[in-house]
Structure formats: C-alpha cells, structure tokens
Amino acid sequence: MNPLRPKILVVDDTPANLVAMRRLLARSGADIFEANSGNEALALCLDHQFALVLLDVNMPEMDGFEVAQFISETDHLSETPIIFVTAAYADDINRIKGYTSGAVDYIAKPINDVILQSKVKIFLELYRARALLQQALDELSLRNRQLTSEVAERTRMEQLVRHQATHDALTGLPNRVLFRDRLEAAIEAGDGGGARFALAYVDIDGFKGVNDAHGHAAGDELLKAIAARIDARTRGTDTVARLGGDEFAVLLHDAADAEGALARCQSLCDTVGEPYMLHVGDLPIPARVGASIGVTMFRAGASYDDIVAAADGAMYEAKRGGKNRCVLG
C-alpha cells in the first residue's frame, strides 16, 4: 500500500448520505472509509491514520461533537483534521461548539459538490505534503544513523590499524616501531633536563629448547606468558616492547641511578625464571627458562643508536657470563 495515498473517513448514520459522499469523493485520489455511528468511527480511527474525517454532527448515541472531542484528545489522533457536515451550520452556538470540540471547518447540508471537493482537495494536498516531509525526515534520520555507524566503524578500524602497526600481534606489547618512538621521546626529554631513565634489553635463555621440543604453539604460549610477567612487574609509566623472536626491551623511566635500575632488572630476571605451565590444546606442558638482561643508563647527548648499542652489548655480556643474570653496560 502506498504510504502517501491518503484515507478519508466519512461518518453518517444515514446510508443514503454515505452513498452520496462516496460518489462525490470517488475521484479524490483517496481511499474512502465509512462509519454509520460514532463508536464505529472511533474504532476505525484507532486502526487507521486518516487525512480527513467528514463527520455528521447529528447521530444517535454518540454525536459528532463527542467523536471529535475524543479524536482531539487522543495523542496520536489529535492532528487529524475534522470537517463537520451539518444542517446547523448557520447556528453560531453549534459552530463554536464544533470548533471547541476539534473541528477545523464546516460544510453545510445540503452539500455543495464544488465546495466539498475543493475543501477536501486542500486537506489532501496538505496531508500529502506532510507525508512527503515526514518520509524525507525519516530517510534523513536513517541516513544519519547509518553515517554515524559508518563513522564509528571507520574510526574503530583506523584505531585497530594504528594499534596493529605499533604493537606486536602475538603478545600485544609495543613493537620496535613504537619502542623507538618512546625511546627517542625519552632521550629528548632527558636532554632537556627531564627525568633520567634506563634501557634494558632482555634475551630469553632456553627458549629455543622449549620451541624445538614442544613446537611453535608452545613457544608462542611461552612468549605470551613471559610478556605478561614482565609487563606485570614494571611500572605503568615504563614501556615493555617485544623487538622480535625472544628479545624484549624495557624502558625504565625515573631510574635515578644504576643500582636502582639493576635491582629492577634483577626482579624481572627472577620473575622470568619462575616455572611455567603452558597449555597447548588439552596438553599441559611444564617449562622453565631464564633471562639475560643488559641495562644501560641514559647519558646526556647520547643518541638512540648509542643507548641501544650499550644495552645490547651488556645483554650479550650477560649471556657470555653464564646467562640468567643482569649486566650494566
């Protein structure tokens, strides 16, 4: 059914009047509904949205005034225009009563065909214009909701892409790209008189043995467990990054001296060395590894490459010295 095709309700208790109105409105372009009592009219109003109600005033049981009053006081019906069709049009008291009840116009009996059709035409054109406007508003509202959803999804995807570009897919830690950004920012802050920091390079001792013995799935689970332990034992302001393979870096902010930095790294070494119980499928796999950690303190004027080389060199010294230890470089 065309939502823009209007409906007209004709209410009259005289069958001959209904037939006459049906004939007069046949070419109105509207669907015509008929009711021969006030109660029947109200029932139809509750089931349909009418562009116009042509309402006889004088009816038994419930007259036109009562029907109009009910329609005007019902929220979703109150906008429905009502034209009273009555022989008492010249009576000012009845006209005022009709307008008070909610009527917007009167048509006198006997009905003048031209007057009826011209008035009906005006209200149908008004209905169609309002229906078109509401349709446009509904389409605009739907499009706005779609755009809002599309923008939110695009924003989510952009955030996801940015996160994936700067974070390790396996452990969720910052990757080498984000690590470099943060280390360079710390160097710039340190050169400007900001807080001192330390850089630790962590290489996992014994990881290859677990990976070779139990497979890559077990190795991945071990790396995730190690990452979680290191992250849990560092401060919220520190940066824990996975550089690749079984190598990690930790940017230790507010490291005032080498002794304190070494103590923090020893804590990391101890937590990495605690036993693991890995779960690959339904199979529990016990594992134990260690960590060789090289740590270097920030020195004013040192470049990114200088600091990274110092930490990396200290880490290899720790491995050469027996592994599972911390060395200051």
Residue 115's pLDDT band, with cuts at 50, 70 and 90, is: confident
Closest CA to 202 of 291, 130, 277: 291
Q: Between residues 71 and 285, which one has the greater pLDDT? A: 285
* Catalytic residue numbers, as ranges: 246
Q: How confident is the model at residue 210 (pLDDT cuts 50, 70, 90)?
A: very high
Spell 245-266 as b/e; 16+ CB within 10 A means b.
ebbbbbbbbebeeeeebbebbe
pLDDT at residue 179, rounded to an integer: 96
Is the pLDDT assigned to residue 198 strictly greater than 60? yes
Residue 119: what pLDDT?
Answer: 87
Q: Where in the chain is the domain with CATH 3.30.70.270?
A: 176-328
Cα torsion angle, 122, 123, 124, 128, sign = positive
CATH 3.40.50.2300 boundaries in the chain: 7-135
* Domain covering 7-135 in this structure, CATH number: 3.40.50.2300
Local confidence band at 94 (pLDDT 50, 70, 90 cut-offs): low
CB-CB neighbours of 212 under 10 Å: 11
What share of the chain in percent tops pLDDT 70? 94
What is 176-328's CATH number?
3.30.70.270
The burial class, CB within 10 Å (0-12 / 13-18 / 19+), for 222 is buried
Query: Does residue 197 register a pLDDT over 90?
Result: yes
Q: Coil, helix or strand for 246? A: coil
Full-prediction pTM beyond 0.85?
Answer: no
Among candidates 59, 9, 70, which has minimal Cα distance to 37?
Answer: 59
**With 90 as the cut, is the pLDDT of residue 105 above it?**
no
Mean model confidence pLDDT for the chain: 89
Q: What is the pLDDT of residue 88?
A: 59
In angstroms, the CA 324 to CA 318 distance is 7
**Per-residue pLDDT tens for 134-162?**
889 999 999 999 999 999 999 999 999 99
Query: Is the four-CA dihedral 310, 237, 231, 224 of positive or negative sign?
Result: negative
